[in-house]
Each structure stands twice: as structure tokens, then as C-alpha cells.
């Protein structure tokens, strides 16, 4: 294994930075390429076929060009749809992101769990299977809160976000039958932990939030155990489309250790 080979962290946008933060904490010496498919954002309204084709195609190109030692799909929507396909076509370890239903089931005291995700994520059979396996004796309420993706993207660009966005996400769960009992909410989109403070205010202090970032980092540590890491150049933020808003992201990217910004050719 080339010690300079990077970890490739992939998301539809900047949501995967919430996962990157945990990877940094666990493997601070690891070189990273953070790839954001801003050209395809958002994934939530897209069909399964569109997401699968796009993710497989992009990760194939990036794997060939950058020779990563491991790929992390830091996107719940992409993982629940395309993880198996990516593993089938790429000869590199691939770690996915799945809704943290199992830990939520262990934390809830009321037995009622909320799940916020994109429209594509919450309708997946994968989520049904997680619920059946780990939360069969709980009540799991789901809500498609796709506008939180845009809110997170705006926040990291320094823009103001209407607080009504967070109120609608909370109301989308609370107003369902039994929703008043929710005490644990699964953040089933990597963008959403970037809005944890705003969501906490909308839901109230009695609600706890769960996401899968720490578990992903632990898995990557396990898969790379014994490997050497050398950071030969500053870590890279890679985007799939040039846009004016990228310049506004530079301070946030630097905060996550991404000192270079490029657009995929």
C-alpha cells in the first residue's frame, strides 16, 4: 500500500464533512480527498437508477485517477441505493453510511424514534430491514426533510437560513400520530449533523440526536489498521461542477483541513 494513497470521502455535497470530522479525530495523519458531487446535488428527489448510475460512474473515475486506499460513501442516500453496486465494480474497500437505527433503539426511553432523511432514503427497503432487525419493538416515524440539505449547504457558505426550515422538520415528525413521544431522532443524512444546534432548538432539549459518523470512523480505522500514512500534499476538496458558491465554502473547508479546492475534469 502506497503510504500517500488517500482516503476518498464522497458525498452529494458538503454533508460528508460531518463524517470527515470523525475520521480526522480517529486518523489525523491520513491523507484525504473529500469529493462533493455538487453537480448532482440534491440526490433525494432523484430516482434510484439515477443515483446508482451517477455514484458508480463518478467513483469509478475518481478511483482510477486518485488511487484511494479506501472509499467512504458519506451519504445515506447514495449508500442505501448504490453501496452494493460500487463494491461490485471497484477493487477497493468501500465503507457506506446507513441510518443509525440500531443505536437509536438502544437509547430511546419512550420507545418512539424519529428519523429525518431525504425522500430517497426514507423509502428504501434497506431502512425497512434496519427497522425490522433493530427496532421491531419500537415506533419509528419517518419524515423527508430534504430542505435541510439546502439549509446545511447555505449555512456553510455563510448564508442566513430561515428558522422555519427547522421548525418544519420538527413538525413533520411531531405532528404524526404518536410523534409527541419522540425522544430520539436519527439524522439519516450526513448534512443534518451540521445543523444539530438549530435542530436541537426546534425539537427541544428533551430530544437526543443520533448519527453514524463515529461508527464509520471506527470501521475505517479497523480496515486501515497497520497501514502507513504520509500526507505529501495538502488535503483536497474536489467538486464535480464549477460554481460561484465554491469560493464562499473555502473557510469552512479549511476548518475541516481541506486546504485545496479543485473541480473534477
- What does the chain come to in residues? 265
What is the set of active-site residues?
75, 189
Expressed as residue numbers, the domain containing 54 is 7-97+214-263
Distance from the Cα of residue 241 to its chain's centroid: 19
109 in helix, strand or coil?
coil
**How many domains is the chain built from?**
2
CA 157 → CA 86, 126, 137, 250, 260, distances in Å?
30, 32, 41, 8, 16
| pLDDT of res. 113 | 98
| pLDDT of res. 137 | 97
| Alpha-helical regions (H) of the chain | 17-26, 48-66, 76-89, 101-107, 119-122, 125-134, 147-156, 164-174, 196-203, 213-223, 246-255
C-alpha cell recorded at residue 41: 446535488
| pLDDT of res. 184 | 98
| pLDDT of res. 245 | 86
- Residue 2: inside a domain, yes or no? no
Domain identity same for 176 and 259? no
Radius of gyration of the chain (CA): 18
- Residue 1: inside a domain, yes or no? no
What is the mean pLDDT, run by run of 10 residues, along the chain of 265 residues? 96 97 98 97 94 97 97 96 95 96 98 97 94 98 97 96 98 98 98 98 98 97 97 97 93 96 95
| pLDDT of res. 183 | 98
CA dist 23 and 215 (Å) reads 10
Domain identity same for 93 and 105? no
Give, for 139, the enclosing helix (H) or strand (E). strand 139-144
Please state at what angle helix 147-156 crosses helix 164-174, rounded to 10 degrees: 150
Alpha carbon dihedral 177, 172, 14, 23, in 10-degree steps, equals -30
Q: How many CA atoms within 13 Å lie on the side-chain side of 17?
A: 27
- Residue 65: inside a domain, yes or no? yes
Q: Are 242 and 219 in contact (CB under 8 A)?
A: no
CATH number of the domain to which 26 belongs: 3.40.50.1860
Amino acid at each position: 500500500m502506497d503510504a500517500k494513497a488517500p482516503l476518498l470521502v464522497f458525498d452529494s455535497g458538503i454533508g460528508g464533512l460531518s463524517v470527515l470530522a470523525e475520521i480526522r479525530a480517529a486518523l489525523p495523519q491520513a491523507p484525504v480527498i473529500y469529493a462533493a458531487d455538487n453537480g448532482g446535488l440534491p440526490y433525494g428527489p432523484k430516482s434510484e437508477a439515477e443515483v446508482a448510475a451517477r455514484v458508480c460512474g463518478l467513483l469509478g473515475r475518481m478511483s482510477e485517477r486518485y488511487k484511494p486506499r479506501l472509499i467512504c460513501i458519506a451519504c445515506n442516500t447514495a449508500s442505501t441505493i448504490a453501496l452494493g453496486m460500487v463494491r461490485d465494480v471497484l477493487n477497493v474497500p468501500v465503507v457506506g453510511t446507513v441510518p443509525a437505527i440500531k443505536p437509536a433503539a438502544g437509547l430511546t426511553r419512550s420507545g418512539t424514534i424519529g428519523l429525518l432523511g431525504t425522500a430517497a432514503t426514507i423509502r428504501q427497503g434497506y431502512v425497512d430491514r434496519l427497522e425490522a432487525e433493530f427496532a421491531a419493538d419500537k415506533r419509528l416515524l419517518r419524515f423527508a426533510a430534504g430542505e435541510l440539505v439546502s439549509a446545511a449547504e447555505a449555512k456553510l457558505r455563510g448564508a442566513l437560513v430561515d428558522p422555519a426550515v427547522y421548525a418544519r422538520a420538527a413538525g413533520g415528525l411531531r405532528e404524526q400520530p404518536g410523534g409527541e413521544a419522540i425522544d430520539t431522532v436519527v439524522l439519516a443524512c450526513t448534512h443534518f449533523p451540521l445543523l444539530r444546534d438549530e435542530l436541537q432548538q426546534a425539537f427541544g432539549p428533551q430530544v437526543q440526536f443520533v448519527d453514524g459518523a463515529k461508527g464509520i470512523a471506527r470501521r475505517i480505522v479497523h480496515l486501515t489498521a497497520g497501514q502507513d500514512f504520509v500526507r505529501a500534499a495538502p488535503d483536497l476538496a474536489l467538486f464535480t461542477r464549477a460554481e460561484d458558491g465554491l469560493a464562499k465554502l473555502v473557510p469552512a473547508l479549511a476548518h475541516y483541513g481541506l486546504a485545496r479546492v479543485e473541480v473534477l475534469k
